[in-house]
Amino acid sequence: MWSTAFRRHMVTHTGDAPYTCKECGKAFNCSSSLRTHETTHSEEKPYQCKQCGKFLRYYHTFRTHERTHTGEKPYECKQCGKAFSCPSSFRKHERIHTGEKPYECKECGRAFRGLSSLRAHMITHTGDGPYKCKECERAFISPSSFRIHQRIHTGEKPYECKQCGKAFSYYNSLQSHRRTHTGEKPYECKECGKALSHHQTLKIHMRLHTGEKPYECKQCGKAFRYYPSFHKHKQIHTGGKPFECEQCGKAFSYYNSLQSHGRTHTGEKPYECKECGKALSHHQTLRVHMRLHTGEKPYECEQCGRAFRYYTSFQKHKRVHTEKKFCE
């Protein structure tokens, strides 16, 4: 005779699930799973907490709830020793160490560690949140997210790198930036061996091997591998540039682009180099200027290994190789 466990296992291969829910038609391979599922259709909550009297629908949520009273935290992180009362919180925490962000927004490509974070982020696209930005009309579910977003418009950058003085609006951006100084590249592509500084960069890099193009234009069906390319393409259809300069009439897709442009009229140069005192109009220009002092050359030629300080010089150099191939 076959054991019950073995019969249940065989269902995973045959797909023959004998226990069907009469309410929705969903099928299960064992009666206990069906019984648990059936409670989603009823108001039944059979598990009551003896400490506070709260009723819960599932046994596993009941066991997790009990730990709020006992203080028990059986799930301990091997990396930092932090303990958790439920496995989902523990799994989410582990991603801080691995850098994994499995939940990606299909609208803008931004990735998150937890599903709840992605759901909260989606409100910025749908506009359903209670906290609305007056500058760009994006909406947020919490006041803290709203305050962080406002830094885009105010230019506030409270997180400063002690190595080079570069400032960031977000703490995780500072953490990622630090690797440009340490040279750390902990994420390696299993296909080609290329090492990368960030998990998200590796995820995007993998599309070169898989051929994945997750961003599809609803207007014409054209698909893109990278979000910036997709966003740029969308403007062909919409022509959307809602932020217009009052001085010259030039229009921009983003408010911060309009702010940067405004300095060409005012002559304002708010970004000063701490090394030599030179004042610059834009933060990005200061960042590029700092390479003169740090010696940083971020653009490396894959053909010959030569590195360049500026992207324009790098692009010009690449033509040397393409022209050689053409001549050959």
Query: All domains of the chain, ordered by start, with CATH?
Result: 4-70 (3.30.160.60), 97-222 (3.30.160.60), 243-320 (3.30.160.60)
Among 56-60, 123-127, 137-141, 300-304, name the one with the lowest average pLDDT.
123-127
Return the pLDDT at 5. Answer: 61
Predicted TM-score (pTM) of this structure: 0.36
The mean pLDDT of the chain is: 81
Closest of 14, 7, 13 to residue 30, by C-alpha: 7
Return the pLDDT at 50. Answer: 87
Residue 116 has pLDDT above 70, yes or no: yes
Residue 63 is given by DSSP the state: H
Return the pLDDT at 14. Answer: 59
Cross-strand bridge partners of residue 279: 272
The 10s digit of each residue's pLDDT in 143-202 is 888 888 888 888 888 889 998 888 888 887 888 888 888 888 888 888 898 888 887 888
Which token pair is 326?
Answer: 């053409």
Cross-strand bridge partners of residue 299: 308
Which token pair is 236?
Answer: 């062909």
Residue 1 has pLDDT above 50, yes or no: no
Question: Angle CA(70)–CA(71)–CA(75) in degrees, nearest 5?
Answer: 120
The 10s digit of each residue's pLDDT in 282-322 is 888 888 888 888 888 888 888 888 888 888 888 888 888 87
Tokens 């038609």 correspond to: 25
E strand or H helix at 20: strand 19-20
The 10s digit of each residue's pLDDT in 84-105 is 888 878 888 888 788 788 888 8
Residue 62 has pLDDT above 60, yes or no: yes
